[in-house]
Amino acid sequence: MKNAGLKLSVVALSCSFALSANAASTLFTNVDVFNGTENKLYEDHHVLVEDNLIKQISASPIEAGDAVVIDGEGKTLMPGLIEGHGHLLLNG
């Protein structure tokens, strides 16, 4: 049963990479933005990412054409945050 869960996790992770690889533009809506350089949280903003680079951050809605739209549901968005400690293959 543990192997089935591991296989399902690997498949789900692989699918998410495939979906993000096809999307040239992603629009995050309804997010609080922490930019890492100021001691300030920008609430209820929109962030447009094109070709893996942040293109625009705005308090007003952004017109993004055929971008994949992700509703952040008021969660915080931070550029460059990487979780560098994980146990993906730990069986216990």
Q: What is the pLDDT of residues 4-50, one digit of tens each?
A: 444 444 545 555 555 555 569 999 999 999 988 899 999 999 999 99
Q: What is the rounded distance in angstroms from the CA atom of residue 84 to the CA atom of residue 62?
A: 32
Q: What is the rounded distance in angstroms from the CA atom of residue 80 to the CA atom of residue 53?
A: 11
Tell me whether residue 42 is in a domain: yes
Q: What is the pLDDT of residues 42-78, one digit of tens each?
A: 999 999 999 989 999 999 999 999 999 999 999 999 8
Tell me whether residue 28 is in a domain: yes
Tell me whether residue 75 is in a domain: yes
Tell me whether residue 67 is in a domain: yes
What pLDDT, on the 0 to 100 scale, is given for residue 6?
Answer: 46
- CATH number of the domain bearing residue 40: 2.30.40.10
The parent domain of residue 61 ranges over 24-82
Q: How many CB atoms lie within 10 A of CB 72?
A: 17
Tell me whether residue 40 is in a domain: yes
Give the CA-trace dihedral at 80, 85, 87, 89, to 10 degrees.
60
pLDDT classification of 1: cutoffs 50, 70, 90? very low
State pTM to two decimals. 0.63
Tell me whether residue 51 is in a domain: yes
Backbone angles phi, psi at 59, to 5 degrees: -80, -20
Q: How many domains does the chain have?
A: 1
